[in-house]
Amino acid sequence: MDNKLPSGFRFADLTREEFRGHWDEWGPKVFNEQSTNLDLEKILSEEEKARVRDLRKNTSRLLNISIGVFKGKQFCGWFGGDQCDHETFYMRNSAVLPGFRRKGIYTALMAEVLKRAKGLGFQVVLSRHIVTNNSIIIPKLKAGFIITALELSDRFGTLVHLKYFFNQTRREVMAYRSGSLKPGGQLKEVMNIL
């Protein structure tokens, strides 16, 4: 995948604190305008909130990638994601601000994240999206992500899980498992199909 940012735009690595600052400013504007997401802050007790904060501290040991997109000094969008386990990187959240959409920025950002995740040794990249979020789902499918699950989330509603497998054989296994590929050759061997 060789998608480039449009001329004049750049990626910048963000610390967790810098990412949080941009998220606090722009996240609610981008995601909450028409959202019916469950606001956990409104339902958790103070004790529950404290325990969640304590548990969140444990995740700081996992790998994190936070990227800002800028045109000059103007903030245009972001990406934040984290290591899930020994092989999976989770594309947790990304957005391009409204005035900068439909310029190829999201596709370039996705390509950058895949390049970095592969470089770090991850085998799988996971993302979850509201099932009607075609502006994100379609570019991911075009990039080679595969639909792997549906989830009913109390916080976000119905989500589709998409995974990108760097290993071609694993991609073929997914095609076989979905019923769109008859196994042959190496696939039969690695799956012990007689």
CA–CA separation, 14 and 67 (whole Å): 5
On whether residue 34 sits in a domain, the answer given is: yes
On whether residue 74 sits in a domain, the answer given is: yes
CA–CA separation, 102 and 120 (whole Å): 29
Higher pLDDT pick, 180 / 59: 180
On whether residue 56 sits in a domain, the answer given is: yes
Q: What share of the chain in percent tops pLDDT 90?
A: 54
User: 164-194: per-residue pLDDT in tens?
Assistant: 999 988 898 888 888 888 877 777 777 777 6
Residue 117 neighbours by CB under 8 Å, 6+ apart: 65, 81, 89, 125
Supply the pTM of this predicted model: 0.82
CA–CA separation, 111 and 143 (whole Å): 8
On whether residue 1 sits in a domain, the answer given is: no
User: 82-99: per-residue pLDDT in tens?
Assistant: 999 889 999 999 999 999
Higher pLDDT pick, 51 / 161: 161
List the one residue out of 151, 116, 90 whose CA is nearest residue 11. Answer: 116
On whether residue 152 sits in a domain, the answer given is: yes
How much is the pLDDT for 133? 93
On whether residue 3 sits in a domain, the answer given is: no
User: 108-132: per-residue pLDDT in tens?
Assistant: 999 999 999 999 999 999 999 999 9
Check: CB of residue 144 under 8 Å from CB of residue 99: no
How much is the pLDDT for 60? 66
CATH assignment of the domain containing 149: 3.40.630.30
How much is the pLDDT for 50? 83
How much is the pLDDT for 22? 87
The residue assigned the tokens 């028409």 is 34
On whether residue 112 sits in a domain, the answer given is: yes
Higher pLDDT pick, 169 / 161: 161
User: 9-34: per-residue pLDDT in tens?
Assistant: 999 899 888 888 888 888 877 776 65
Please check the confidence at residue 43 and state whether its pLDDT lies above 90: no
Number of domains in the chain: 1
CA–CA separation, 110 and 124 (whole Å): 14
Query: CA torsion, points 46, 17, 140, 163, in degrees to nearest 10?
Result: -60
- Its domain, for residue 105, covers 9-190
